[in-house]
Amino acid sequence: MYVEQTVDRAVILAAGLGTRLKWMTRNAPKALMNIQGETSIVHVIRQLAGQGIRQIAVNTHYHSEKLMDYLGNGSKWGVNLVFSQETKLLDSGGGARTALGILSGEGLVLVHNADVLADVDVQGLAGRCPEDGCSLALVANPIHHLEGDFSIRNGLICLQGEPRYTFSGVSVWQDNVLKQYAEDTAFSLLDPMKCMMEKQCCAGLLHRGQWFDIGRPKDVIRANREWRKA
């Protein structure tokens, strides 16, 4: 069941080690990778702020202090930033769940990877989120992931089926779904995704706009060349 709703808070996942970027993340977290003169996480924050997101929790681990010192409280971008410091990596699901615990409010929460630059319509994604589920933005399969992740059937995401699409790293959740998991526990966001798919409570939006996953050096180069700022 779909209900009219908007999202005004988010978790940005920024705790990864950035190992695929090799030397580029030796002295700084991946979230501080420079793209056209601005760090990737600031591009993400600007995109979200421009769509009405005001409360943002950022999970941190690798070079945590550098990231927090750089971002501050978020006031320069018109948002309120809080930080969820992980002493051990909690993976995407555990990171989102634990960071959710320090966000005020209730209801919908956006989860966005810090190494993804995209102009996804997050409010449109929120409007598709089932009453007790989640909604995912999918994109055409990139060269490094041609097999894709999921398919879409009648607006719902399925593990099987054709054509295949790739998860963008941008999703909206009813917070009660994530709160079924314990804080400070490592798990993949794929776990609750699969659970919601089985219940037919995982909706999909095919994003055809900009999308860059800057997890590899060549992707950083391409984003620096092609990304169009908001």
pLDDT of residue 26: 55
Task: Say how many domains are in the chain.
Answer: 1
- Contact status, residue 118 vs residue 43, Cβ threshold 8 Å: no
pLDDT digits (tens, 9 = 90+) for 85-136: 999 999 999 999 999 999 999 999 999 999 999 999 999 999 999 999 999 9
Mean pLDDT across the chain, nearest whole number?
92
Flag whether 27 is in a domain: yes
Flag whether 20 is in a domain: yes
SS3 70: helix
Flag whether 23 is in a domain: yes
- Contact status, residue 177 vs residue 196, Cβ threshold 8 Å: yes
Flag whether 36 is in a domain: yes
Q: Where are the alpha helices (DSSP H) in 144-212?
A: 175-178, 190-198
Q: Output the pTM of the full model.
A: 0.94
pLDDT of residue 135: 98
CATH code of 84's domain: 3.90.550.10
Flag whether 2 is in a domain: no
Flag whether 196 is in a domain: yes
Instruction: Produce one character per residue of 149-164: b if its CB has 16 or more CB atoms within 10 Å, e if not.
Output: bbbbeeebbeeeeeeb
- Smallest CA-to-CA distance from 17 within 141, 148, 114, 149 is with 114
> Locate tokens 């006031």: which residue?
75
Flag whether 1 is in a domain: no
Model confidence at 23, pLDDT cuts 50, 70, 90, reads very low
190 is in which domain, residue-wise?
9-226
Token digits of residue 79: 């948002």
Backbone angles phi, psi at 167, to 5 degrees: -65, 130
Q: Is the pLDDT score of 3 beyond 70? A: no
Flag whether 94 is in a domain: yes
